[in-house]
């Protein structure tokens, strides 16, 4: 799989046409309007999707830990420990 990724990356870097299109738009629009519709680079597309999906998961995890920290603050320590219920409602 990584061999195909490397081959596709080299092909992408060597294409003067794709370089010109890349310089005229954002990275997101380049993938959305040029790379994905062409179907030329399936390994690059899969890799890009994996990288982009990581950030969504990381954000949700950080958000949950932030809520847990707030819920377990000194002000909340005087109340009964319902952390599971609080986190369930928060997420």
Query: Exposed, middle or buried, 2 (CB in 10 Å: 0-12/13-18/19+)?
Result: exposed
CA–CA gap between residue 70 and residue 67 (Å, rounded): 5
Per-residue pLDDT reduced to its tens digit, 12-51: 999 999 999 999 999 889 988 999 998 899 999 998 888 8
pLDDT at 71: 66
**pTM listed for this prediction:** 0.54
**Whole-number pLDDT of residue 81:** 59
Domain coverage including residue 77: 2-90
Closest C-alpha among 60, 58, 64 to residue 88: 64
| Domains in the chain, number | 1
**Can you tell me the distance from the alpha carbon of 9 to that of 35, in angstroms, rounded to the nearest whole number?**
12
How many other CB atoms are there within 10 angstroms of residue 73's CB atom?
Answer: 8
């Amino acid at each position: 799989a990584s061999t195909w990724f490397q081959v596709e990356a080299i092909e992408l870097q060597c294409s003067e046409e794709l370089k010109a299109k890349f310089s005229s738009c954002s990275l997101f629009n380049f993938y959305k309007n040029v790379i994905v519709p062409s179907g030329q680079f399936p390994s690059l597309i899969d890799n890009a999707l994996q990288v982009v999906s990581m950030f969504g998961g990381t954000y949700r995890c950080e958000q949950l830990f932030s809520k847990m920290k707030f819920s377990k603050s000194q002000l909340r320590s005087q109340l009964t420990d319902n952390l599971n219920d609080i986190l369930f409602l928060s997420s």
